[in-house]
Structure 1
């Protein structure tokens, strides 16, 4: 059976609880927001967020004064985004799969976080974005780290799963289907005439903890540690997600 892109219609509420109602989701959002902050150095940038989901990142960018176009392939997800963003007229919401987005060359910054791993052909999608960008524009890209996924499953003794190439027997809709190796993505984007401006791991420690933080104090200590080491080798390569800031040459 041919693989297809994975959307979240019918499970939007479950998706929100699983991602943003947990310490892993909170950490991912905070660290990604901080990772792109140094590149929001000019006011009122034109930003498009591909696969922006419920609009949490779009809202943060709008608060800073940027004009944001939020796209997603799931209507159910965008209904939640519309509720969150109803007080932000500078955010446009568009129901559109990645491959149908038009005029990417009109944006200063493209945000594509945690999207590629849900696609049947992630490198085709990445090539599509790179080809449509204008020189000098930037891409904030994050994706599920295959190396970190393998390491995590080895720690937990899931050897059969590793032997199957990290493919489950029965696919769960909230499990990414196409984790990517950071070195492969870096090599690919450099071939697409893009320069890596910054790289960092997202959740380099959290997902390996036996006991996840249950108090605000422990969470803040972990956040401090994640901030300190996310851009340092070898720790950055072990982030459950990997973030790249890229510029089109």
Structure 2
């Protein structure tokens, strides 16, 4: 059966609870925002978020004074985003699949977080983004780390699952189809014309903890550890998500 892209119509509330109503979601958001911060300086930027979900990241970028267009394929998810962004009437919100968007050259930054793993052909999507973005613009992209998923399942003893290529017998709707190996993605994006400006692992420790943080003090200690080691090998390669800041090079002078 041919793979197709997956969206979250009908399960928007579950999506919001599972992703952002947990320490893993809070940690991922904070670490991604901090990784993007050096590229958000120098005045307001025009930013488009692809597959922006319920608007958590869009709200943070709007609060920093940037001009944000939020897109997602799921109208159910965007309904939650409109509620969240009610205090930012300047935000632009549009229901659109990633493949239907063709004006990326209008933006200084493209944000594509935790989207690739839900697509039928994620690497081809990265090539398409490079082709559409204008020289000098940047792409913030994060994706579900296949290497980290394998490591975690081995630690938990899920050997049959690994032997099946980490494919479940009965599809879980919030279980990504196409986790990606960071080194494979890095090779692909450089071949596609991007320059790597920064890279980091997101949640290098949290997902391997037997007991997740249950109070603010422990969460703060873990956050400090994630910040300290997220860009250092070997820990960065075991982040449950991997993050890249990619720059589309300026065209050489004639």
TM-score (norm 2): 0.97
- The separation in 2 between residues aligned to 1:41 and 1:22, in whole angstroms, is 29
Partner of 2:103: 103
Partner of 1:230: 230
Q: Deviations over 1:66-109 (max 9, x none)?
A: 00000000000000001111221221001000000021011000
2:167 is paired with a residue whose SS is coil
Partner of 1:82: 82
Q: Deviations over 1:21-48 (max 9, x none)?
A: 1110010000001010011012110000
Q: Which structure 1 segments of 5+ residues have no match?
A: none
Q: Deviations over 1:49-80 (max 9, x none)?
A: 00000001001101111000000000000000
1:65 pairs with 2:78: no
**1:161 offset after TM fit, Å?**
0.7
RMSD, aligned CA: 0.6
**1:150 offset after TM fit, Å?**
0.2
Q: Which structure 2 segments of 5+ residues have no match?
A: 250-254
1:184 pairs with 2:209: no
- The separation in 1 between residues aligned to 2:135 and 2:160, in whole angstroms, is 45
What stretches of structure 1 move > 6 A for 4+ residues in a row?
none
**1:208 offset after TM fit, Å?**
0.4
TM-score (norm 1): 0.99
Count of residue correspondences: 249
